[in-house]
Structure 1
């Protein structure tokens, strides 16, 4: 019984990681892509 609960908990963690990491990657890329535009806006200011 204990072993089964540990497996479920471990798989829950893996599922959360699998869902969260791609979203974090997309957010990081979006931030990186917007940085040059922000710099240009400041320089033109």
Structure 2
């Protein structure tokens, strides 16, 4: 009876050890997935930031060119008035 109990304990210890190994493997895989997802999110955020920065630069150029066109239009009208006088 004692030998059977020892065998049962050893069997359960091996089951617990196998379960622990599977849990550690699963935990490691989950940690890798989390790190990969974080890297992917970083890439996505960086790409969005770059696109937004490009849009900002484009809009600033458009505003500057619009301001320049208004200044030139005002200058031309003043030159025409000066010629008429």
> Is the TM-score greater than 0.5?
yes
Q: Which moved more, 1:27-36 or 1:2-11?
A: 27-36
- Equivalent residue for 1:23, pick from 22, 26, 50: 26
Q: Which moved more, 1:2-11 or 1:13-22?
A: 13-22
Q: List structure 1 runs of 4+ shifted beyond 3 angstroms.
A: 39-45
Residue-by-residue CA offset, 1:1-45 (whole Å, 9 max, x unaligned): 111110011000011112221121011111012113334545748
The runs of 5 or more residues in structure 2 that have no matched partner are: 50-85
Q: Which moved more, 1:13-22 or 1:34-43?
A: 34-43
Structure 1 residue 2 corresponds to structure 2 residue 5: yes
Q: Secondary structure at the match of 1:6?
A: helix
The structure with the largest alpha-carbon Rg is 2
Structure 1 residue 13 corresponds to structure 2 residue 16: yes
How many matched pairs? 45
User: Cα RMSD over matched residues?
Assistant: 1.9
The runs of 5 or more residues in structure 1 that have no matched partner are: none
